[in-house]
Structure 1
Amino acid sequence: MPWSPPGGGFTVKVPEGWSRTTQGSATVFTDKFNSVRVERVHATTAPSVNSVKATDIPAISTASTHFSLVKVTTVQRAGGRAVLAEYHADSPPDQVTGKRVALDVQRYAFYKAGAGEAVLTLSGAVGADNVDPWRTVTDSFRWS
């Protein structure tokens, strides 16, 4: 299902039937411990591997439980170049049981001059086979 943030700027395909919530400026689509977080960020320069390591990763690490960085690289997707940060972290506690699940996370930062940055963060339980679904979501990203 194609989705655009309020005010437009880009589209991305998100799984149908997943619940949608708003967390500040981000929209999060979830199904159990799988999620796709979509956020538009004000930026005047393109992210780089070094800027993500210096700025974004420390903030993510501080906000996460059991954070472990895997790598930060530049990747090409159908909608353009992105900086990809891969890491592990625990999920937020389940509202009923309080249980946390270890997650694999991929965070893509896309940039377009004049439009800013679009950040797609995909997460799922460690070891789950999310390669194809995550590739479908990230390859569907398009600036409008």
Structure 2
Amino acid sequence: MIKKMVNFDVESPSEAALRAIDVHELLPQQEPFVMIGTLIHFDKTLTVTETEVQKNNIFVDDDRFSASGMMENIAQTCAARIGYVNKYILKKGIQLGFIGAVRNFEVIDLPHVGDVITTRVEVKEEVFGMTLAEASITCGDKVLVTSEIKIAVKEQEEA
């Protein structure tokens, strides 16, 4: 999918400006391993993505998006945040991130194929390339997953 370039305030972008960004430009992952659909909110502490659960997703089983898929969706929402900061604010390339720890990962329900899930990642602390965040996935008003996640970012090597 080709999206047109939109000029916007990178520090406080509108939802329309964020929706115009192709998330593939923000992530190190490529298809078929992209687990987020659209970036819909970004600020210094909160990143939100929206994703329609697709039947051909590798984490769909019996028409339900698995807990593993939702964990990857949270991790990629974190990666989209890092990618957005690097591309639009710091003017750097994509950095690889790694899940350092997951705590209190609670799955309340699994979404179905066709459901649109909303993933929120709220940064609680950033220190020495490590980000500690609280995450949740909802479908409409229903909470599906809550978790804490720690992401480590690999520093880019100088060329």
| Superposition TM-score tier, normalisation by shorter sequence | 0.3 to 0.5
TM-score by length of 1: 0.37
Q: Which has the higher strand share?
A: 1
TM-score by length of 2: 0.35
